Structure formats: C-alpha cells, structure tokens
Amino acid sequence: MKSSAAAKPRARSRGRQDRKSQGEISAPRHASARYATLWLGLGLVVATIAVYSPVHSHPFASLDDGAYYYANPHVQAGMSWAMVKWAYTSFGTVTPDVPDWHPLAWLSHALDADFFGREPSGPHDVNLLLHVLNVLLLFLVLQRATGTAALSAMVAGLFALHPMNVETVAWIAERKNLLSMTFFLLALAAYGWYARKPRVGPYLAVVVLFALGLMAKPQVVTLPFVLLLWDWWPLGRVAFDEAGPALAKTRLERGTQAFRRATSTVSGEEQTAKSEERSSGEKRMANGEWRPLSLLREKLPLFALAAASCVVTLKSQEAAGGINQHIAMAARLGNAFVSYVRYLAKALWPVNLSPFYPHPGDSLAGWKIAGAVVVLLAISAAVIALRRQRYLAVGWFWFVGTLVPMIGLVQLNRQAMADRYAYLSFIGLFLMLCWGAADLAEQRGLSPIVLRVAGCAVLAAMALLTYRQLGYWSDNLTLWSHAIEVTDGNYLAENIVGSMLMDQGKSDEALPHFVAATEMNPADAQAYMAIGTYDLQHGEAAQAIAQYEKTIALTDDAVRKNLWLRSTTLARLGSAYRQAGRYDEARRSFRQALEINPNDGQVWLALGIVTAQTGDNAAAVEAYSQAVKLQPTDIGYLLLARALERSGQSSQAQSASEAAQRISRNLPAAQQKVDAIFGGTAPAGSVGRQ
C-alpha cells in the first residue's frame, strides 16, 4: 500500500516534468513562429510601398477625381455636421454627378480636404496606406484561419502586387474600394473569432463591420456568401460530401499539410490548440449544430443588411439615371460570360490594362459567348469533382460570386468590365493558385525550396508589371493614350485625350479624337459637345450651335444621368448664340443651364453680359451680383460696377469698383477685357462659360 501510494506522486511528478519539457521545447518554436510572421508581414509592407511609392507625385485623375474630390464643394468644405448630413442623404447631384450612396467614402475625402486641401499627393498617400493595411489584414486573416503563414503571405503578396489593383490604388476616386475592402477583411477576421467560440459580441462585430463596409462601397454585399464558403474551408464548420463530419479534422488539405511541414511558422503549442478547436468542431457537427441550414440561418441578419444595401444602391442609381436601360438582357448576359473569362485571362497575364473597357453591346460573336460558357462550366465541374481539395471550390466560387454585383447583369454606364472590380474577387483565384501549387508540389515530390523560388519569381514579375502600369497613371494624357492603344472602340478615351489636348491649346490635334469618338459611338453626346466647342473657338458659331443642339437632343431621354453634360452644353450653347448675335436665345440657354446648376458663377456672369447687351441693365445687375456672390472676381465686380453706373446707382458702382481693386492682381488688364466685351473685340469665351 505504501509503495503504491508513493508511486502516485512520482507519476504526477513525471507528468509535470514531461509537460514542462514539452513547454520548454515549444516555447522556442512559438517565438520562431511569431518572428517569421513578423518578418513576412514586414516584407509585404516594404515591397508594397516600394512598388507603389511613385504614386505620391501623381496628379489627380481626369476622370471622377474632380467630382469625388477637388471640384466637389461639399468635400472641399471639410469635415462638419453639414458634410455628414450631405454624405448620408446625397444620392448624387449636379455637383458632383455621382449616383452611388457611400457616405464613409465621402467622409474620408472630406478628412483629406481638411489635411491636404486640393493637393493630390496627400490623398494618394492615404490610398497607398489603406492598400498596405489591406495587404496586412489579408495576410493575418489567412494565417489565422489556415495556420499556414507562407502560403498566406504568397496570397497577400499577389494581392499587393498584381497589376490589376493599380487602378484601385492610383485613383483617388476609388478610395471607396479600399475602404470597403478594409471593413470586409476586418469582418472576416471577426467572423473567425466568432467561429472559434460563437457568442453575441463577435457576431455583433461582424454585423457592424459589414454595415461599415457597405457604407464605404456596396460591392462587399456578397460577404454573407463568402462566409458560407469560409465555413466550408478553411474553418471546417460544415461538410457537403460523403466523408461527413470527419472532414472537420482536416481543415487544411493535403497540399497545405505537406507544405506546412517544410515551411510552417506555427508552433507545437499552437498546433495543439488548433487540434482541440477541430475536435470541438467535429463534436458540434456531429450534434447537428453546424449543419448547412444552421449556418445559413446564422447569417440571416447579414443577408438582410445585404438586401437593404441592394435596395438603396438601386434607388440611388435610378434617382440619378445611372442604370443603362439601352442594353438588352441577352447582350448583358453574353458580356457577363465573356468578361468572366477575360478576368481570368488578366489574372494570369495582366497586360493591356485600361481604366475603361467599352461594352460590346450586341456585337459579341456567338462562338465567343459559347466558348466562355464552356470554360466556366468546365472549371466549375472540375472544382466540384475535386471537392476534397476544398480550397479549389472556395476560391473559384469566391471569384465568381463576388463579381456578380459588378458583372453587368444590372448595367451601369457602358463599361464591359473594370480592373477595380478585381480587387476583391481575385483573392479567390489567388487562394486556388497558391494552395493548388503547394498541393501539386507535394504530389510531384518537389522541394519546398523550389516552391519558394518560384513564388518569389512570380512576385518579382508582378512587381515589375505593376510598376510599369503605375507609370501610365503618372500622366493623364499618357494613361488615356495607352487606353486607346490597348482597347478597341474606346470612345471615352478618345474624348478624354481630345479634351486634354484642347486644354493644352492643341485644338487641331484634339479634333480628330472627337470625330473618332462619334464614329465609334454615334450616341456619344460628349463628343458632339467637344466638336461644338472647337467650332466656337474657331469663330464658327452656326456650326457650334448645331453640334450643341445635337448634344441636347441625344440626352433628352436620359436627363437625370446627364445633368452635368446638359448644364455645360446649354451654357456653351448660350455663348454660341451670343457670338452669333442672337441675344434672346443666348439668355434662354443660360437660364436653362442655371435651372440645372444654379451655383455656377461663370454662367451667371455670361447671363449678365448678354442681358446687358440687350439693354436690360437692372437684370444684368441681378445676374452679376449672383456671379460675384458665388465666385468673386475682378472682372465680375467691374462688370457689376458698369451695370450699376448705367442704372444710375453711382454709389453702389463705386463700391463694386473698390471691391475689384481689392481682389485684382492686374486691374488694368481686367478693365481692358471688360471694355473689349462691349466694344465687340473680346474673343469668344473670354468671359463666361465656354
């Protein structure tokens, strides 16, 4: 009895010693794992900043950056309660002509305006920092979910350096894309926290982060769908095949396990904890707690949020006329199938990238659509057949599913596809490629060193391509000239190149681009407006009037969508009538422009000039007063002083003249321009909107 009693403490002592010994062994491994994760994360940050650092010196993009930032009066007013109210209640107005509801993106731009004003470098830097944050979040979320730091780093590296993501980072207007991804990844991290031990706190975190993501940009509306995929792999919360609950033990597939043995940064202690989590998961699946329907019910609040976001998005687009009703559903479906394949091709061979890809309409050949359908069905069948390699199905359906809101079934504007839409969806393809490569390497018996070298080579190639693509964004004329070279029928690029050449005073070089745009798209109202401006600048008022009237006619059936274009065209039409001496028609056109946008000081000034030329000085005083109230200029005050003097209001005229003196940098030159206007020698467009 004594010996037996004495044996027990010794046994317990040996057990404690064994556990102590195991702890001593696992501690260095644990520290090594943390250091490896730290170094991998640091490497991702350094590589991303190194490749994207030139963006600091980039200008504003000619497309949308004005409406979203530097020409948006609400944003430039900075952060205030009025700005917050506008951000949450605006569905798009004339200034800016932006239909989407994304209040957090607006607030982010307003903060930029407080810190950086109208300088582009600050907002560019913020975009880059958000991209770096997203790279780190993706790496850490994957590493936590899969236990494999090396493969997670490779996925994050592809996300960081793939050329398709240049558009999102280099375009200030795409701040919404970056912000929504940040909240998406945070929600994914919170869901992993919830899945390990389901309770209210983590679940509320998922809901709140999802809501914030939707308020940044509704493209993350597919999060509930992604979480169902995440349940299957890598969380192992559900099984749909014959192996049943036993698959919860193998959360990572064979390739992952083989690769981890050679490259893992997870300590023995962490592996034990993860094993316990998987065992707990198996028990809960056996009890029916993680059956598919249970997981679906679990996400009903998230699906409700997604549905509400869809309603708000559609209503905001409808309110601003953003939904293109002129493309038939058959054409939209055909383009959707072909675009999926084009996205796949650009994921593997990212060249000939453009900020705009024209929609083909009904011009797609039937064999192209059929071929695209065959490719998509073949890949889908393959990943289902290989369902034991769960990462294949999860990656593929992540790619397909997250692109659904942007694939064009509900057509917005006239783009066929967009590089920025790949920012979220390509993560699925990167998962497939990285885990698939590890699996294949294990099957072929390749050394992990070979896989590492190949991975580094791929990332280096992507970095070079991204750096080159970023170079196109360093200059707007270069960017859109490149777009003309690498796409067919790109009437938008032709328009933008022509407009920039006009701004540089190269109107003769610009005209062929506008003509090409009308040939590519006979319904391109903006190109006709530009041709009219060319004619007006060359003294051809009658031809300019014809072009402007054509522009107005082409937008009559889509007034809400073309408010800015109509306002600008009516103002320029007024200038053409004024040049032709048709003052009454000029006044009517200016007033029509102001009905759309009453906050344009230049149009008020032009209205005052043509009103004064008809002899109605009282009405001219009213128009000039509104002009200097909105946009104080020396010419505006001098014109106001002239009209007041002719109306017999000498004291008020003197006050206006003094105001002109206070703000003028060259009063004699301003006075000469005013005298030239009424002497008949002022060039067309020297004052007022052209």
Rank 14-23, 153-162, 288-297 by mean pLDDT and report only the highest.
Answer: 153-162
Residue 603 to residue 598: CA distance in whole angstroms: 9
**Nearest Cα residue to 131 out of 102, 172, 103:** 172
Q: Kindly state the average pLDDT of the residues 429-453.
A: 93
- Residues facing residue 415 across a β-bridge: 358
Q: Which domain covers residue 655, as residue numbers?
A: 599-690
The residue among 419, 454, 472 that closes a domain is 472
Residue 571 lies in a domain: no
Instruction: Count the domains in the chain.
Output: 2
pLDDT at 178 over 60: yes
The pairing of strands 415-417 and 357-358 is antiparallel
Is residue 220 a contact partner of residue 213, using CB atoms and an 8 Å limit? yes
At residue 680 the predicted structure's pLDDT band, cuts being 50, 70 and 90, is low
In a domain, 526, yes or no: no
Boundary-marking domain end, from 439, 454, 472: 472
Please name the residues in contact with 490: beta carbons below 8 A apart, sequence gap of 6 or more: 354, 356, 357, 358, 483, 484, 520
CATH of the domain at 635: 1.25.40.10
Closest by CA position to 675, among listed 635, 648, 628: 635
Residue partners of 4: CB distance under 8 A and separation at least 6: none
For residue 207, being part of any structural domain is answered with yes
What is the reported pLDDT for 564? 83
What percent of the chain clears pLDDT 70, i.e. is strictly above it? 84
Q: Report whether 490 contacts 484 (CB < 8 A).
A: yes
How many other C-beta atoms lie within 10 A of the C-beta of residue 306? 21
| Each residue's pLDDT tens digit, 343-361 | 999 999 999 999 999 999 9
List, for residues 453-475, the tens digit of each pLDDT value.
999 999 999 999 999 999 999 99
In a domain, 573, yes or no: no
- Lowest-pLDDT range of 101-105, 131-135, 224-228, 686-690: 686-690
* Centroid of chain to Cα 281: 38
Question: Looking at residue 321, what is its pLDDT?
Answer: 63
**What is the pLDDT at residue 678?**
84
Q: Mean of the pLDDT values across residues 391-406?
A: 97
Say what percent of the chain tops pLDDT 90: 73
- Judged by average pLDDT, the poorest of 117-121, 209-213, 331-335, 673-677 is 673-677
Using left for φ > 0, alpha for ψ between -120 and 50, and beta otherwise, residue 291 falls in: beta
Mean pLDDT of 209-232: 97
Torsion sign (Cα): 471, 473, 477, 483: positive
Last residue of a domain, one of 449, 472, 495: 472
Same domain, 466 and 613: no
Bridge partner residues of 323 (DSSP): 412
Mean pLDDT of 280-305: 73
415's enclosing H/E stretch is strand 415-417
Query: Residue 165: is its pLDDT beyond 90?
Result: yes
3-state secondary structure 601-657: HHHHHHHHHHHHHCCCHHHHHHHHHHHHHHCCCHHHHHHHHHHHHHCCCHHHHHHHH
H helices within 147-174, ranges in order?
A: 149-161, 166-170
pLDDT confidence of residue 159? 98
Q: Enter the pTM of the model.
A: 0.85
Give the per-residue pLDDT at 13: 47
**Residue 418 falls inside a structural domain:** yes
Residue 167's pLDDT is what? Answer: 98
Contact assessment for residue 206 and residue 187, using Cβ atoms and an 8 Å cutoff = yes
Lowest mean pLDDT among 116-130, 316-330, 351-365, 668-682: 316-330
Per-residue pLDDT band at 411 (split at 50, 70, 90): confident
In a domain? residue 86: yes
Average pLDDT, the chain: 87
Residue 423: pLDDT over 60: yes
pLDDT of residue 97: 52
Flag whether 132 is in a domain.
Answer: yes
Q: What is the mean pLDDT of residues 197-216?
A: 97
- Residue 526: both structure tokens together: 């903006």
Asked if pLDDT for residue 2 goes beyond 80, the answer is no
Q: Is residue 528 part of a domain?
A: no
In the predicted structure, residue 409 carries a pLDDT above the cut 90: no
